[in-house]
Amino acid sequence: MAKLIYPVNVSLDGYMEDERGDLDWSISDDETYAFWTGFQRTIGTYVYGRKMYESMVYWETADAGATQPETTREFAQIWRAAEKIVYSRTLPAAASAKTKVEREFDPDAIRRLKASSEADMTIGGPELAASAMSAGLLDECHLLLNPIVLGGGKRALPDSVRMRLELLGERRFRNGVVHLHYRVIV
């Protein structure tokens, strides 16, 4: 049975986007990028909201040639190989291979997919993740806590959901980012 995992870059004050909707504040260097790429190796399906998908679809056509760093080429290959499900009422069609667009979030469909999948799944986008949390579908959270205070924007974790978590691991990077790995306690 696959796990449904919520991986997210988050500011110290709990935001995953700033007030303009930008993600460019997150701190990434070779060490954190290699870590995040390594994390992606076990993922078989990405479950996205529209906005998160639109930011990630870049990897469908990203140059993965020899001039790119190895971690960039590897991430592009991992992303292209995975299945993708996009939940959107407005996206007309998928812009990537191995991608299905669904109009409504269906918790039972995700339960069936978790039960039938061998590889883990991630969920991207805070509103979609909140729906999965509310439905009791989430198994783990991986937070990359960035040493920055944004003062506003889009919250990474919903206000309306209560979950107990068990800390499974932590890692501090040289750039000040801290990875926190939690399991949802049912």
Gap between the Cα atoms of 62 and 71, Å rounded = 13
Is the pLDDT assigned to residue 175 strictly greater than 70? Answer: yes
CA nearest 128: which of 156, 162, 166? 156
Per-residue model confidence as pLDDT tens digits over 61-117: 876 667 777 778 888 999 999 999 999 999 999 999 999 999 999 999 999 999 999
Per-residue model confidence as pLDDT tens digits over 108-162: 999 999 999 999 999 999 999 999 999 999 999 999 999 999 999 999 999 889 9
pLDDT at 23: 87
Per-residue model confidence as pLDDT tens digits over 106-123: 999 999 999 999 999 999
Q: Is 183 exposed, middle or buried (0-12, 13-18, 19+ CB in 10 A)?
A: middle
Alpha carbon of residue 146 to chain centroid = 15
pTM of the model: 0.94
Residue with tokens 């205070």: 149
pLDDT at 61: 84
Gap between the Cα atoms of 99 and 83, Å rounded = 6
